[in-house]
Amino acid sequence: MSRELTGLLVHDLKNQLGHLEAELAVLGQQVPAVAAAHQHCAQLRQRLVAYLTIYGGDERGLVAQLEDESPAAFLASLAQLASRPEGAPLALVLEPPPPPFWYFDARLVRLALEAALHNAWRFARTQVWLSAQAQSGGLLLVVEDDGAGLGAKDPSAQSSTGLGMALCAAVARAHRREALVGRVSLVPRPGGGTRFELWLP
């Protein structure tokens, strides 16, 4: 099967999942048991979007379409719209204030942070944090959780494909400024848990 045809088929499947997700969202408001199915459908659609994003890159990888964005407004929007399971609440931390604006591809960065957030929600005990700050001449976007930390067994019993970190790394590399290239890291969080960092030049 050709690359083009495969891409078209996956795009169609993604669209159909989007319709199913919308229907489950309505049913979930009427039947609580359907809410879990809605969440699983949303996660599957996000995996497909991540796959399409990586698959769509050429030999050079993803190409970011940089635009002037407000990091604070971007994170506030993400915190409101992110589809998340019941459980640990999300805290938006904007102190100290991030830079008033930065040039990045909001669509790609949203995909990366959504992947990081869903991973954090799987492991968090009581809280997930989302923040941004200036660091080393770049913009640092951070997702933290208070879970068991790196290497912990996934409490959701879901198998990990590694697609989330692959997507985040591809998004980071797509952001370049002269000799500087974006990067991601996953490190222990001070006080327990895990800290995901996406640095954009």
| Burial class for 14, CB neighbours closer than 10 Å (0-12, 13-18, 19+) | middle
Mean pLDDT of the chain: 81
- Angle, in degrees to the nearest 10, between helices 3-30 and 34-55: 160
Kindly report which listed range (6-15, 31-40, 166-175) carries the lowest average pLDDT score.
6-15
Whole-angstrom CA distances from 89 to 22, 33, 46, 125, 132 are 23, 21, 20, 10, 18
Mapped onto helix, strand or coil, the DSSP state of residue 150 is coil
**62-200 CATH:** 3.30.565.10
| pLDDT band at residue 1 under the 50/70/90 scheme | very low
Is residue 85 within 8 A of residue 23, CB to CB? The reply is no
**What are the domain boundaries of the chain?**
1-56, 62-200
The pLDDT of residue 172 is 95
Q: What is the pTM of this model?
A: 0.75
Confidence band (pLDDT; 50, 70, 90) for 55? low
Weakest-pLDDT range from 5-9, 127-131, 164-168, 173-177: 5-9
CA atoms within 13 A on the CB side of 56: 16
Question: Look-up: residue for tokens 């991540």?
Answer: 50
The model's confidence at residue 13, banded by pLDDT at 50, 70 and 90, is low
